[in-house]
Amino acid sequence: MRVIDVHNHYYPPRYMAALEAGDSAVTIKHDADGNPEIHYPGDFNTAVRGHRDIAYRAEVLEAEGVDTQVVTLTTPGTHVETPERAVRLARLTNDDFAEAVARYRGRFSALATLPLNDPVASVAEFRRAVEQLKLPGAMLFSNVNGVALADERYWPLYELANEYGAVLHIHPTNPISVEAMREYWLMPLVGFLFDTTIAASHLVFSGVAERFPRINWVLSHLGGAIPYLAERLDRGYQAFPECRANLKMPPSEYLKRWYYDTVNFDTASLELAVRFAGASHIMAGSDYPHAIGSIPAMKAALASIKVSESDRAAILGGNAARLYKL
């Protein structure tokens, strides 16, 4: 079965060089092994070799039996920079993504990163990424320095994504009130998932999903809590007029049309998501090479779920091949 991993992360060379040179709002330190540590409020990422070395990563994928990865940047994202710097870092990141896709033809695809703190520049960079670099869409963070993705300043971006029928993959970032999550890694373990849940719920209730129906939304980490809480969102739709104002049907009907990556390696949770959205809307994801991610755990979990072999093949790679036109 073809395996396509839609949730994993790559810090490309010129982006890392800019950070190391101090051309950034984030702080770079180094661990005992010399790996860069990218520090930002509430969290830091250790950029191990797999994050930074695309040739090494290609070897890992060959060894692990992964045919293709759809690479993305990860936190903190370019939106934490000044707008001017965000535009420059987004462009060089996307250029490096496109170079990796071309050099290792078939092994990688990529989603653009955008300077989301500059909505006008984000539209321009999204157009360039799709039309010139031939990327299938972009990864969005679940909030942009506290601004909700449902905010109307982003609707021109959604209008363009809708025109293209593009992929928009929502990845969590620092939740609001992150100060309450500084101990025990609560931000990435819990806060991330609920920020995704809030972003998705807000996009639906605000009417974005209704207004822009051709966008292919993808939610990280099995949608946060969406498959578990969707029934509660529907009860809100029934109970509160403002929850019906922008919708033609209950929230779950929109959310069942969205896609969910499998960066949750619990069998019961995966099977719940399959029951909620259908096997045709679940796609393999590993979160490689983060410490909390794992290609072997992804594959083992997907081997263990109770689905037909045709559905398993779709989840492992068939759905992504169709959605990302691979």
Reply yes or no on whether the pLDDT at 1 is more than 80.
Answer: yes
Helix (H) or strand (E) holding 54: helix 54-64
Q: Whole-prediction pTM value? A: 0.96
Average pLDDT over residues 309-324: 98
pLDDT on residue 32: 94
pLDDT of residue 41: 67
User: Do 210 and 158 meet the contact criterion of CB atoms below 8 Å apart?
Assistant: no
Mean pLDDT of 268-275: 98
Q: What percent of the chain has pLDDT over 70?
A: 98
114 vs 41, 68, 126, 127, CA distance in Å? Answer: 20, 23, 7, 11
Query: Taking the mean position of all CA atoms in its chain, how far away is CA 229?
Result: 20
Q: Which domains does the chain have, with CATH numbers?
A: 4-323 (3.20.20.140)
d(CA 279, CA 246): 28
Q: Could you tell me the pLDDT band of residue 48, with boundaries at 50, 70 and 90?
A: very high
Helix ranges, the chain (H): 13-20, 49-52, 54-64, 83-103, 119-131, 155-164, 186, 192-205, 208-211, 226-239, 251-255, 267-277, 295-304, 309-313, 319-323
Q: What is the pLDDT of residues 217-236, one digit of tens each?
A: 999 999 999 999 999 999 99
Looking at the predicted structure, is the pLDDT value of residue 248 above 70? yes
Res 80 pLDDT > 80: yes
| pLDDT at residue 186, as a whole number | 80
